[in-house]
């Protein structure tokens, strides 16, 4: 368990050695896996052991650590608050950047005495990029692997998510009365019912409607996903994502009130995260899919264009485009190991 400086108690799971044993835990390079929004560490364990990224990494000699963000099943503790307390949910992904990520990285670094590789999916990529743009944790990280990278959401073309964005923005004050955004709760069920009644919205296949047409999911994997996921987050976090999608900006949470923004940031509008400040020689690997409607390829290419001109010697800046992959394929596709993870291993071995 890891306690953040703002009082949240997070759970980390560790796979110290692979199935074949081999190198002792203290001699293995650590890798931190960070899931996306509405998910938890189970993200990395949905596939069979020979294909799930967490086990693949362990079997290839890495010391694997699996993070669980605040509010999810295994990270609902706090030094003074319960999840029933409204203040517990007063955060967005800004706090994951400033508190959760530093706490987990520091813990792994202190336990192993080694700099670590970071691998994130979806929101897990966003908090890494934001952190790197602020110059945080550079002395403790070897590299960052970003699957379905999210920095900009202005081109997001998931129609279901777009309708959700409009409803969130239109009824922001209403939704802020429900601090916890629980996908399995009645409030979110009512929201989803409203979205599905919008003309032109087909909710027959919710995963496809949200993430895009995933190419390669087995029904057994989807069944496992539905058994353990989705996970709660804060309503404030979802509104923050809605602000990003509506405005096409990469900025801190906007309180939509100049006084409140001044109180939090010392300026009338929220500061932006600048991707250009990420050090040119820090190793980055991006992989994105052609049918992903959340991490839309147009938005990813805006990000890659911002980062162009980086030092790509010795594999320091690598990109992969998988034409038929959508958002869930990256953690649930039956061929993800061959399509994506083998290249991730190649990248890690370079750094």
Backbone torsions φ then ψ of 8, nearest 5 degrees: -85, 140
pLDDT at 349: 96
Count CB atoms within 10 A of the CB of residue 337: 19
> Are β-strands 63-67 and 12-15 bridged in parallel, bridged antiparallel, or unpaired?
antiparallel
- Chain-centre distance for alpha carbon 213: 20
Region of residue 250 (phi > 0: left; psi between -120 and 50: alpha; otherwise: beta): beta
Structural element, H or E, at residue 195: helix 186-196
Q: What is the pTM of this model?
A: 0.93
Residues 6+ apart with CB under 8 A from 85: none
pLDDT at 174: 59
Residue 178 has pLDDT above 90, yes or no: no
Residue 40 has pLDDT above 90, yes or no: yes
Q: Give per-residue pLDDT as tens, 128-145.
A: 999 999 998 999 999 999
Q: Please state the rounded mean pLDDT for residues 92-99.
A: 98
Residue 227 has pLDDT above 80, yes or no: yes
Q: Which range among 61-70, 170-179, 236-245 shows the weakest confidence by mean pLDDT?
A: 170-179
Q: Which range among 156-160, 241-245, 253-257 shows the weakest confidence by mean pLDDT?
A: 156-160
Q: Please state the rounded mean pLDDT for residues 58-63.
A: 94
Q: Please state the rounded mean pLDDT for residues 225-233.
A: 88
Residue 90 has pLDDT above 60, yes or no: yes
Residues 6+ apart with CB under 8 A from 280: 309, 310, 311
Percent of the chain with pLDDT strictly greater than 70: 93
Q: Please state the rounded mean pLDDT for residues 63-68.
A: 97
pLDDT at 58: 95
pLDDT at 172: 61
Q: Are 336 and 330 in contact (CB under 8 A)?
A: yes
The CA distance from 21 to 17, in Å, is 6
The CA distance from 135 to 3, in Å, is 22
Q: Which range among 5-14, 194-203, 286-295 shows the weakest confidence by mean pLDDT?
A: 194-203
pLDDT at 176: 63
Q: Give per-residue pLDDT as tens, 253-283.
A: 999 899 999 999 999 999 999 999 999 999 9
Residue 302 has pLDDT above 70, yes or no: yes
Residue 22 has pLDDT above 70, yes or no: no
* Beta strand extents in 106-245 (DSSP E only): 116-121, 141-147, 180-181, 233-234
* Beta strand extents in the chain (DSSP E only): 2-3, 8-10, 12-15, 30-34, 63-67, 77-78, 116-121, 141-147, 180-181, 233-234, 284-289, 317-322
Higher local confidence (pLDDT), 272 or 187: 272
Number of residues in the chain: 351
pLDDT at 171: 62
Please list the active-site residues.
122, 292, 327
pLDDT at 168: 66
The CA distance from 307 to 103, in Å, is 27
Residue 30 has pLDDT above 80, yes or no: yes
Using pLDDT thresholds of 50, 70 and 90, give the confidence band for residue 184. confident
Using pLDDT thresholds of 50, 70 and 90, give the confidence band for residue 201. low
The CA distance from 199 to 201, in Å, is 6
Three-state DSSP class for residue 218: coil
Higher local confidence (pLDDT), 139 or 199: 139
Residue 158 has pLDDT above 80, yes or no: no
Using pLDDT thresholds of 50, 70 and 90, give the confidence band for residue 186. confident
Residue 137 CB-half CA count within 13 A? 31
Structural element, H or E, at residue 159: helix 159-170
> Are β-strands 12-15 and 8-10 bridged in parallel, bridged antiparallel, or unpaired?
unpaired
Among residues 5, 181, 168, 224, the alpha carbon closest in space to that of 89 is found at: 181
pLDDT at 107: 98
* Dihedral angle of Cα 328, 332, 336, 340, to the nearest 10 degrees: 40
């Amino acid at each position: 368990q890891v306690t953040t400086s703002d009082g949240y108690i997070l759970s980390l799971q560790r796979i110290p050695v692979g199935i074949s044993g081999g190198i002792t835990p203290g001699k293995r390079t650590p890798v931190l896996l960070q899931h996306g929004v509405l998910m938890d560490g189970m993200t990395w364990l949905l596939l069979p052991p020979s294909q799930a990224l967490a086990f693949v990494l362990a079997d290839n000699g890495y010391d694997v650590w699996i993070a669980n963000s605040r509010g999810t099943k295994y990270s609902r503790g706090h030094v003074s608050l319960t999840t029933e307390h409204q203040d517990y949910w007063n955060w967005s992904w800004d706090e994951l950047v400033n508190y959760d990520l530093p706490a987990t990285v520091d813990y792994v670094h202190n336990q192993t005495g080694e700099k670590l590789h970071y691998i994130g999916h979806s929101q897990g990529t966003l908090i890494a990029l934001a952190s790197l743009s602020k110059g945080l944790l550079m002395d403790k990280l070897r590299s960052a692997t970003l699957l379905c990278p999210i920095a900009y959401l202005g081109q997001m073309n998931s129609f279901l998510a777009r309708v959700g964005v409009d409803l969130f923005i239109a009824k922001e004050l209403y939704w802020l009365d429900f601090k916890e955004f629980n996908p399995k709760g009645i409030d979110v069920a009512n929201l989803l019912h409203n979205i599905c009644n919008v003309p032109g919205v087909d909710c027959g296949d919710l995963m496809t409607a949200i993430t895009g047409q995933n190419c390669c999911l087995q029904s057994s994997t989807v069944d496992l996903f539905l058994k353990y996921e989705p996970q709660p987050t804060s309503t404030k976090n979802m509104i923050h994502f809605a602000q990003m999608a509506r405005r096409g900006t990469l900025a801190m949470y906007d309180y939509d009130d100049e006084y409140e923004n001044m109180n939090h940031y010392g300026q009338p509008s929220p500061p932006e995260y600048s991707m250009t400040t990420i050090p040119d020689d820090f190793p980055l690997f991006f992989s994105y899919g052609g049918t992903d409607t959340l991490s839309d390829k147009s938005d990813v290419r805006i990000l890659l264009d911002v980062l162009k001109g980086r030092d790509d010697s010795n594999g320091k800046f690598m990109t992969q485009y998988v034409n038929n992959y959508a958002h869930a394929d990256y953690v649930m596709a039956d061929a993800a190991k061959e399509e994506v993870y083998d290249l991730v291993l190649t990248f890690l071995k370079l750094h």
